[in-house]
Amino acid sequence: MITVAVIDTGVDIYHNKLYKYINLNLSKSFVDESLTDKNGHGTAITGIILYNEKFKESLKNVQLVICKITNQLTFEVEKFIEALEYAISIGVHIINLSLSIKIYNATQRQMDQIKVLIQNAYNKNIIVVVSTGNQDHENNIFYKLKDFLYPIIAKDVKGNIASYSKSLSNSYAMFGGDIESIGDSINIEKHLAFSTFPMYLENSYFNYFGVKRGYSYFWGTSIATAKFTHIVINALQINNDLPISISSKLKKYIHKPD
């Protein structure tokens, strides 16, 4: 059984595509008394981690530990540190961080704590997958720790670096979708990522595409990060290897700037 910590906005624990994978005993909110995802980001990330691109086949022998650190897209660094420390302490195999922290949003003490925790995870063979490819990457705390984690950048449907992402060497490039690439195309499903969305939230933005409740389209480095986590889970299950030995199997995803 592969255990994945998802540090995010929570999740719709009753979603029919997700509920059976969530370990409610280990999952924890660091901001309130509920795992309820009031934003939708965490639920989308969870769906992408679990399911293939066509959203028909899910991973087997996987459990998710939901670590909720915010009800919005912004979060307190201190809450993140608590969640990261917790995920490491319970011995998960993978930590998905579809988020970023800029150095100007954290104190030196917090940055030092994060560095120690990331290195601690690495030493314990815990795989950390994190979004690093957004703009202003040079101020991203995690990009400075790339030797101890898997830094992710995003591609569009044509394999080009997404408009919102950066071409960074020694990073792993995954499809993250790009709304800028749609143009006049009517096939938005080729340009964006399809995933789960809280059943109790109204996603009016894509209503005119006929997307049923509980699902939506997404794009971003967060999405690319979750897709890479899906691949890492597969690699661990197929090869039954330690994280350090599967790195060679993931090299084909390394981005090589022109």
Q: What is the average per-residue pLDDT within 119-142?
A: 87
121-125, 146-150, 157-161, 229-233, range with the lowest pLDDT: 157-161
H-type alpha helices, the chain:
41-50, 77-89, 108-123, 188-191, 221-239, 243-246
Residue 44's nearest CA partner among 76, 83, 87, 73 is 73
43-52, 79-88, 161-170, 173-182, range with the lowest pLDDT: 161-170
Q: For position 200, which CATH number holds? A: 3.40.50.200
In a domain, 58, yes or no: yes
Q: Return phi, psi of residue 196, to 5°.
A: -75, 155
In a domain, 132, yes or no: yes
In a domain, 214, yes or no: yes
Could you tell me if 155 and 133 are in contact, meaning their C-beta atoms sit under 8 angstroms apart?
no
Beta strand residue intervals within the chain, DSSP E: 2-8, 28-29, 62-68, 94-97, 127-131, 150-155, 172-175, 193-196, 215-218
Containing structural domain, residue 217: 2-253
66: helix, strand or coil: strand
In a domain, 258, yes or no: no
> Percentage of the chain with pLDDT > 70?
86
Total structural domains within the chain: 1
Q: At which residue do the structure tokens 């660094």 appear?
A: 77
Q: What is the average per-residue pLDDT within 63-72?
A: 97
